[in-house]
Every structure is written in C-alpha cells, then in structure tokens.
Structure 1
Amino acid sequence: MSFHVPEDLDMSFIQDDELDSGDLNSAENLNIFNDEDSQPLFEGARVTTGAFMLLLALFTSKHRISGDGIQQLLQIVLLILPSTHNFSVSLQAFRDFFKHLKNPLKKHYYCPSCSGYIENPMETTCSHLICKKEFREKVPYFLEIPVIEQIRSKFQQSGFYEQLQGRFHQPADDKYKDIYDGTLYKNHFVNGGPLSCPENISFVFNTDGASVFKSNNTSIWPVLMTINELPYKIRMMRENMILAGLWFGKQKPSMSTFLKPFKQTMLEFYKGVEIISADRGAFVCRGFLLAGTADLPARSLICNSVQYNGSFGCWKCLQKGKTAKVGKGHTHVFPFCHGDPKGPPRTKENVVQDAQEIVQLKQTKNIQNLHGVKGPSWLLLFPDFSVVDGIAIDYMHGVLLGVQKLLLRLWFDKSFVGKPFNFHNSSSKLDELLECIHPTSDVSRLPRSLKDLKYWKASEYRSFLLYYGAPTLQSIIGPDYFQHYLKLVQALFLLLKFASTTNEIDHAEILLYSFCRQFANLYDECYMTLNIHQLVHLSDSVRTLGPLYTHSCFPFEDKNGFLLKTIRGTQNIDSQIITGISFVQKLPELKEKCIFKDTLEDTLCKSIENPNVIKRGQQIGEQVYILGAVKRKQLDDVHFNALTNYLEIVPFTDTFLSFNRLELKQQLIYGIDYSRMIKRDNSTVFFDTGTLKGFCRVHFFCEVERDDDIEIVAFVNQLSCQNYREDTNIRSVQKTNTVTVIPVTSIKSSCILVDLPKTNSCYVCMFPNKLECD
C-alpha cells in the first residue's frame, strides 16, 4: 500500500517534551486506533472519529498550524457538532490521540570522551581501559528504533507481503533492471539460497551526517534502511524506509559504538523472527544486510578506513595513488593505471587480514593503517555481508557532486582563467542557452545560471550531465574536451538505464576507461581525485548491485531532508524526529483502518497529501487517462488530410472530440496546443508503431472511429533523426512542418526537447529510466 507523505509535514502538534523509552516500549504503544475510533463521529455521521482525527492531523501538519491555532479550530468544530458527539475538543486530548503511534525505542549510552559503549549508564566513570575518565556531565546517548518491530508492523499492512514477491516474476534475461540482477543478490538467491524463500527479505543501509542548525555544529546521523524486495518506487517512499538508529550531537559517531545494537538486531534477524502477516498469516522471516551506500567521508567511518584523500583511499582496489602538487599545496591523486585500471582488487579476505595485522602493528610501531584499513570494522561481524562488494559506489556524490561539479568549475571558474581547459569567457553564452531549455514536468528544477553553481543540487547536476550539458557545450568548449565529455555522458546513461544489457555495461566500462585515461592529458594530473578514479569501478558496481539508481544516496538524502524538517526547535531534537517519523510510518496503517477507498474522505485525504496531483478524466486504455477538458474540434485541411492518410479513408466529418493532455503510464504528455505550458514542454515523445519508430511533437489528441471502434490518435510533427541508436540518449534532430497521425498506443515515453534557436540546433534527450525522475 502506497501513501504519499506531504513535503512539509509538521508533527509539532503531538510533540513531547522528552522521550521516555520506558513508556514508548510498552505494548499499548504498538496498537493503532481502538474500536471506539471506528464509530461514527456522532449518531448519523458519515465519517468515523478515527477518519476525522486523521484528516484533521494531516490538515494541521500540512499547513503548519500552531498549537493555539489547533485549539481554536477544535472549538470551531465543536460549534457545529451535536451534543452527542464523540470528539475530544482539547488540544491535549488531540495530542494524546496520536501519542500511542510512536515506535518503540531504546536508549544506548556512550562515553563523552572516548565514545565507547557504556553498558550501565549509572556508572560514574568510563569502563574502557583506554579511557577510564570520570563522567562530569550527563552521559550522552543515541537511539535505536528496533528494526524487527518496524518490520512486524509493515507485515500487518494488507498487501505488504504480496508486494515483496515481485522478484519471482522477473523475466529471465541478462538485463540489469533492479538490485536482484546484481551478482550479490543472485548469490543469496540461486541454488536454494535464503532470498529464494518468499518469506525472507534483505536491506540496503545508509548513514550520513546532516547539519541541523546554521549557528552551531549540531548534526544528526540516522541509520536508514530500504527493503530490497519491495518494488523500487514503493521501497524508496519515506514511509517505507526503516529508521534503525539516530545519533545526534556535536561530534561524529563512533561506528563501533553506533552500529553495535544494529549488528545485534541483524544477527537476530539472520536467525529468523516470528512474523504475523495480514496476507500470509504466521511464519518465520529472515533478514539479511545486503549492501550499504554512503558518501566518501561516511564510508571511511563505517569501513574504518582512511579518508578519500589518503593513500589506498579506494575501497574497491589496492592502488596506493600518489601525492601531487596543486596550487601552493598538495593533494592525493590516483593516476590512471594503464596495465590494470581497476586492480589489484580489494577483497573481504585481504580486508580481514589487514585489519588483524594493523591491530598488532599498532602495538609496536607508529603505523595507523595497512592498505588503507585502520582496524576491524563492525561490518565484518554482520552475517554474510560482503564488506567490499557490499559497499556501493554512490554516483550522486561521486559522479554528480564530484566529477560533473569539478568539470564545470574547471571549464568556467575564474580561478582557472588562462588554462587551456577554461572557457570562462563563454559562460554567459552557456547561461543564454540554458535559459532556452524547457524540460518536461519529470524534472523538478528548471535550468539555472552558472552564477548559481554553488547552490546547484545534485539533481541539477544530473539533469546537466544527462540532458543539457552535451547539447549546450558543443559550441562552447573545445572539440577535444567535448568528445572527452561525451564519453562520460554516454557511459552514465548506460549505467542508469533501465534494463541495460551485459554488452552495454561492458561498453560503458570501455568509455569510462578512455575518459580516465585521457583526463590527465586534457586537464592536469592534480585533478585525478578519488572521484575520477572510482569511474573505472562504476560498471562493476552495476554488475554487483544492479543499476546505479538502486544503490544511490538520492532517496536517503531525501529522507534526511525530511528528518530535518521535523525539527522545530533546539530542545529535544531526538524526540521531535522520532515523533515525526513514527507518525509517517504509521500513516498507511491509519489510512487503511480509518478511511475506505474511493470515498469522499479518501479523496480529501489524497488532496491534502498531494495538492498538486492532477485530476484524471476518462480512462481510455491501460494506465492511460484523459486530463482536462474534452471539446469538439473542427480540423483544418492540413490535419484533415493527415487523418485521411492515417485511416486510408475519407472521414465522413471534420469535427471530432479533442483534448490536449494525457497521462500515459504515469507520464504527462501535453500537446503544443496547450497554451498554459510556458516554462515546461511535455509535447516531445518517442513512438514505435512496429513499422516506424522515432521522435515527434504532439499537437493534440482526438477520438476517431475506425473499424466500428473508437481509437485515440495524436496529431504530431515528426522530428527527423538521421541515426537512431539505443546506446545513447541524446540525438540530434531536425524539426519538420509535416503533420502526421499516430495511435496513442504507439507512444512509448516522453522526452526532453533541447531546442537551441541561436545555434539552429535541436536535440532530443531520452530518460535512462522513469523510476528515478524527480
């Protein structure tokens, strides 16, 4: 069951002053609304008390209504209720109604000096031999939100068990569509492996620091998990992510301390826990930690390895790198190794060996690491976890915020003026070209000027890399730099593509090898950072864990942003976050119990959840809906002749039912005739009739009668494309004035049209996948 979480959800209306782990661990806190909540709000009412309270909670949180505002709203509601109502009108009663929704949690204490785990928080000195310091202040703690209880709650939702079974219905081919197609998952699936059992599940985890306030260095470090067996879009929803732990304060977590309860939970899950499913009944479920993803600083913490700017900083191979001069200082770089670009390989076995040896060496020698390993990692204690292959390369931080951001700086930053690779004098021209681009509604952010580059988000770098960059840079940067950049663009498209083939992944690897090999000659060896080096391992990341989007940090960063929005004040940060996330995780369960599908309450609930949702009209096919008004339209001679050619018969009338907007398999397609689209362009599509395929721009849609049946057709201008290739997503096209007609069923996907009138160039950009759209 899916449930959209409002972007600006505010849970302050049910906020506690401080967490009480004892109260929150009680059994009554695990129950959802009682039977009284299923009763009508008052005798004869069409809405139940539970549904009314849920709608009111969503409304007040969505619009950030203060406590005083809620109190006044409750009093207004009281004025119209009969005396026999079952509604609590005080703010406290309203808060109490939701307090039992909080997840159970556990506090774990640690030494403020050494960050070592404290078994007994009542002790006055640290029990660790290396510390033994006296506690002069309140012993700090971090939170564990028990994973098993959260999973049990998920299984109680109807339909949840069935959603986990999609991996058994995948076609048998060599294409990479999801994490199931990677070798790491297959190793747990084939030959009767544990993940071949429909009752078992696996996880990808993430942890990263997020700054809470601009005025101080307080940060939060959540441990988040996704359930791999859920369909991609459902597993990435905020309410379906598991918040396993929360570290907060002014210092980074000690991972050996922070991950200790997490490890114990996964050991228990590995053995199997009892689950009661609304669909399946009672059974034993086993859970496996399959992979983890993080940015480079967080990765070094969880792996207990050196930072990205140190020797042996790569977690996939044992290349040492070297020190290079940059400006007045020095940096650590990883030059391209021509003989063995991605070797020697780092393995779990040599990580274990290095961890054991460095512990002994530290006792007698001043050595801090061995091959980049600083000591044992707690990840080595997780059952069946591959500490090398299971740590993903995150393309969000590595490629977008790393490589693409670096290239834009080298090309256009003033500090590099005079370098052969710098084109700062043409930056205004690039801005003009970017302003001409009207992306589809799938892209949340419009192109921005290079003047705002320091404010660009990772999604904006992704749009530039995959769609805008190549078309706009062709006339700006030198041909050698442009051809070099195209290799990165094409490779990333293939690695992000839904259903890439083995040959395409191999081709992407060749392109990235060539990109890295030429980089130092075109720019300088001092810019061959770890982010550049990791490109040679990127294809292996897909082979191991599936397409790059299945293990990127994008969804986790979104969840981190949401967690920060739940913080409304400087006090009791942990309480605020747990309150908000608990409410969000319980929303699907609350809605299932309180609000019936396709009722007025359901419609109102959806409008509060997502006020921007487009109202669907008539359904005209599988996942195809008319949007907006349907009007009668008289065709002019050009469009009438085009329809005649399509039908191969002269229609008996020139007036047809017409509309401008369509939703096709969750894609919005708006005809050029839809005048309200100013900054967006949803008219360009890729079509395939079986005998003809290519690109076109839709003018409008019509209902026509053909063979005693009603058919929906699109009137289009075809875009002439000289060479259609499936290994690249950006194609040069030419506009035509010829109007043709195609059936709506032949439209396969929407595309971005990059029309650059000042250069007389026009390009069509295809999405590598529609799973990761903004």
Structure 2
Amino acid sequence: MVKKIKQYSGYYGCDKCTQKGRWVSGRVTYPKVDNLILRSDETHCAEMIRREQNESIPVSPFLRLPMDMIAQFPIDYMHQACLGVMRKLITEWIRGDRKARMSAVQIKEVTQRLLSLRKAIPSCFPRKPRGLEDIDRWKATELRQFAVYTGKIVLKIILSDQLYDHFMAFSVALSLLLSPSLAVNHNKYSTDLMTYFVAKTKDLYGEQFMVYNIHSMIHLPAEAIHFGSLDACSAFPFENFLGKIKRLVRSGKQPLVQVAKRLMEISVSPQTQSVVAAKCKLSRPNNGFILGEGKCCEAIQERVESDESGSPVVLCKVFEKCEPLFMDPCDSRIIGCFKVQSRQCRVKLVPEQQLTRPAILLEKNQEIVFLSILHNI
C-alpha cells in the first residue's frame, strides 16, 4: 500500500518478479518456479513514473527518496513463512484433502508429541508447544518453533514419506537462512531447496495451493543474502516489543504517558541481565549446548572455580561421538542437529565462554537429541 503497487491478490502481485498470476479456485496462484524475470529498482521506478504521467496514478512518496524500491522492501518471513506457509501446511494436514490429511489418531499422536516436548523447550522461547487443535490461535513464534525445530521430531513416521520429505526441504532451507553464517555459505543450496519445495507443492497439494506466500519462498534466500539472515529483516523484534509495551500500561488513563515514563525509567537504570542469564542457562531445560568440532554438551553444575587462565569453567557432560539426526535433504549436522547415546559421554570442565550456542535437548530412552537454536530474536 505504501509502495502504491498491486497487492498480493493481484495478477502481478509479486513485488520481486514479473510473473503473472492465474485465477484458480477463487484465488490468484503463481505456478511458475523457474525462468522468472526479477524486478529491479530502475524498471520499477520507470514504470511508476510512466503510470503517473499517462494514467494520472499517484506514485509512492518513497519513490522520491534515494532508496531501492525492490531490495529495501524485504519479504518478512514472520508473516509469509511462519504465519503463511507453515500454518497453511498444518491446516492442510488436519483439515485438507484426504490425500494429504492426517487421521484423527495421527493428529492426536502429533499433539501428544508436541505436549511431551514442553518441559524440554528452553526459556529463550516465549511459548511452549500447544496441540494442533489450537492451530488457529498459534502465534508466529510457535509456528517458527514448529517449522525449524519441533516439526522434524513430531511429524516423523506420522506424515507420509512424500509429505514429510517435502516439509523437511522447507524446514532445512528455513534453518539455513536463519543462521548468519549458513545463510551466506549455503545460500545456493537453500535456494534449490525452496525452489524444490514450491515446485513439489503443486504435485502434492494442487495448483490452488500455489498462492503468493508459497511463491515468495523462492525469493526468500535472496533476502537472507542481502541482509545477512532472515532475522535481520523480519517483523519479530517489532512484534516482540509490542508485548513489552503492553505490560508497561497499568490503567486506561493516559497510556502513552505511562509507556513513555516506564521506558525512561528503564533507560536510566537498566537491569543487568547477564547474572540472571548465567544462573538460568545451566539448569534444565537451558543446559544444552553445541560445542566446536561437532561436539555437544549438557551442563550439569553451576559455574565452578576458574581454570589456570582465570576463566570460569562449568562441569559438563561432553558428547564427542555425535551422529546426524537425519541425512535427507542434507547432513543434519550442518544445521546443528545431532543425536548421541546418553552413556557415551565424558564429564569435563568446559570454559564458560565456549557455551555460546544453546540447543534444545530432547532425551528419549538411551538417546539424546540436540537441536541448535538458530534464530536470535
């Protein structure tokens, strides 16, 4: 709306490429996945100026500023990948066509698996997993949690092989794009995965499923390479801060004044979070970490005495024989997904500064799964 262009429901609704949409089953779809003609700032500005001169259509005020009207309006993965694609997939699995829909028993099993993971979710996640019956009320953080972390676990053996492999392509691609290092080093592979995901969607769910949100996944890797990672250009920090602002309001009288005063108080006397973080991160469910060289560890004791260099150390169970959790569509160790045997560990003193990559620690029988936390917001 601020760019004064067609919205997603228009035939030329994609603001990243010039593909013309098709009207299928009451919606505009984008079936093409290759040979797409990308938009550029030069062609976009020229077209907008032509429309203003010939058709008297007012242009966006942003057009008068020295900014790229294509690259500097990124795809927001919070709305399009999480609230859009992930919710659409889950809704299709529980309410869609019979060829993709799970049975009532399978839905119940997935819900039970999700609820069983609640105690294993670290405090850096604002919400614990909920059952599929609440899917219409899931927040974006819950959908991201499912897409990047828990979905890999709870959908295994429940979905058919085709549907599960299709979801895994989306999940792994999203995981790669959330990490600043992986988004750059494996951007080509994440692009291939997203292209495969979008192309396969038509075969598995039908052309009516190929709406703008699905189509935009093709362009998502380019946003990560341009901004550094998806978290660098998402709406998550703004949405998260809305909750903080809401908690600052005590009554309905002059809410803006209340917010301004509380923010001023916080800025004058900021709380030191480092001590709190150090205390809470070393107890379950916040005691799983990924170390360098493909090792994992579980912190089992609070900070103990310093080592010879004077740095604080932590007593940990270190797992050196880490296997990949899965090998398709890639070696899961690339995105920090490992499985280990609970007995194959050594108790060591680990320097506290090495505990920088927190992970979700899932324990089942004699096997432990570590899922590296990739998002940073």
Query: Which residue pairs with 1:380 in the alignment?
Result: 63
- Work out whether 1:457 is the aligned partner of 2:139: yes
- Counterparts of residues 201-600 of structure 1 (less than 5 Å): 301-325=1-25, 330-338=26-34, 340=35, 343-359=36-52, 362=55, 375-382=58-65, 384-413=66-95, 416=96, 418=98, 420-425=99-104, 426-437=106-117, 438-500=120-182, 502-561=184-243, 566=249, 569=252, 576=254, 578-584=256-262, 586-587=264-265, 591=268
Indicate how the Cα distance of structure 1 residues 548 and 702 shifts in structure 2: closer, same or farther if over 3 A, else same: closer
Per-residue deviation at 1:698? 2.9
Per-residue deviation at 1:561? 4.6
Choose which of 276, 286, 291 in structure 2 pairs with 1:687: 291
Per-residue deviation at 1:390? 1.0
User: Residue 400 of structure 1 contacts residue 461 of structure 1 at CA under 8 Å; is this kept in 2?
Assistant: yes
The unaligned stretches of length 5 or more in structure 1 are 1-300, 364-373, 592-601, 617-623, 628-660, 662-667, 671-679
Tell me, in whole angstroms, the C-alpha distance in 2 between the residues paired with 1:381 and 1:560: 31
Q: Secondary structure of 1:483's partner?
A: helix
User: Residue 282 of structure 2 contacts residue 302 of structure 2 at CA under 8 Å; is this kept in 1?
Assistant: no
Per-residue deviation at 1:763? 2.5
Query: Which residue pairs with 2:336 in the alignment?
Result: 729
Indicate how the Cα distance of structure 1 residues 379 and 700 shifts in structure 2: closer, same or farther if over 3 A, else same: same
- Counterparts of residues 10-25 of structure 1 (less than 5 Å): none
Query: Which residue pairs with 1:78 in the alignment?
Result: none
- Work out whether 1:714 is the aligned partner of 2:315: yes
Q: Which moved more, 1:425-434 or 1:703-712?
A: 703-712
Runs of 4+ in 1 over 6 A off after TM superposition: 704-711
Per-residue deviation at 1:317? 0.9
Indicate how the Cα distance of structure 1 residues 376 and 686 shifts in structure 2: closer, same or farther if over 3 A, else same: same
- Would you tell me which structure has more strand in proportion to its own residues? 1
- Counterparts of residues 673-684 of structure 1 (less than 5 Å): 681-684=285-288
Query: Which residue pairs with 2:371 in the alignment?
Result: 765
CA offsets per residue over residues 608-655 of structure 1, 9 Å max, x none? xx9xx6855xxxxxxx95x3xxxxxxxxxxxxxxxxxxxxxxxxxxxx
Per-residue deviation at 1:524? 1.1
User: Residue 84 of structure 2 contacts residue 213 of structure 2 at CA under 8 Å; is this kept in 1?
Assistant: yes
Indicate how the Cα distance of structure 1 residues 696 and 748 shifts in structure 2: closer, same or farther if over 3 A, else same: same
User: 1:333 is aligned with what amino acid?
Assistant: T
Tell me, in whole angstroms, the C-alpha distance in 1 between the residues paired with 2:242 and 2:316: 44
Tell me, in whole angstroms, the C-alpha distance in 1 between the residues paired with 2:303 and 2:255: 50
- TM-score for both structures, normalised by structure 2: 0.86
Aligned length: 366
Per-residue deviation at 1:527? 0.8
CA offsets per residue over residues 70-112 of structure 1, 9 Å max, x none? xxxxxxxxxxxxxxxxxxxxxxxxxxxxxxxxxxxxxxxxxxx
User: Residue 435 of structure 1 contacts residue 448 of structure 1 at CA under 8 Å; is this kept in 2?
Assistant: yes
Q: Which has the larger radius of gyration?
A: 1
Per-residue deviation at 1:519? 1.0
User: Residue 718 of structure 1 contacts residue 740 of structure 1 at CA under 8 Å; is this kept in 2?
Assistant: no
Indicate how the Cα distance of structure 1 residues 316 and 490 shifts in structure 2: closer, same or farther if over 3 A, else same: same
User: Residue 487 of structure 1 contacts residue 511 of structure 1 at CA under 8 Å; is this kept in 2?
Assistant: yes
Tell me, in whole angstroms, the C-alpha distance in 2 between the residues paired with 1:734 and 1:499: 28
- Identity score, percent: 22
- Would you tell me which structure has more helix in proportion to its own residues? 2
Q: Secondary structure of 2:199's partner?
A: helix
Tell me, in whole angstroms, the C-alpha distance in 2 between the residues paired with 1:742 and 1:494: 31
Tell me, in whole angstroms, the C-alpha distance in 2 between the residues paired with 1:525 and 1:564: 41
Tell me, in whole angstroms, the C-alpha distance in 2 between the residues paired with 1:544 and 1:735: 41
Q: Secondary structure of 1:500's partner?
A: helix
The unaligned stretches of length 5 or more in structure 2 are 325-330
Per-residue deviation at 1:399? 0.3
User: 1:686 is aligned with what amino acid?
Assistant: I
Tell me, in whole angstroms, the C-alpha distance in 1 between the residues paired with 2:215 and 2:155: 24
Per-residue deviation at 1:737? 5.7
Q: Secondary structure of 2:31's partner?
A: coil
Q: Secondary structure of 1:727's partner?
A: helix
Indicate how the Cα distance of structure 1 residues 480 and 441 shifts in structure 2: closer, same or farther if over 3 A, else same: same
Q: Which moved more, 1:522-531 or 1:503-512?
A: 503-512
Indicate how the Cα distance of structure 1 residues 515 and 375 shifts in structure 2: closer, same or farther if over 3 A, else same: farther
- Counterparts of residues 55-204 of structure 1 (less than 5 Å): none
User: 1:394 is aligned with what amino acid?
Assistant: D
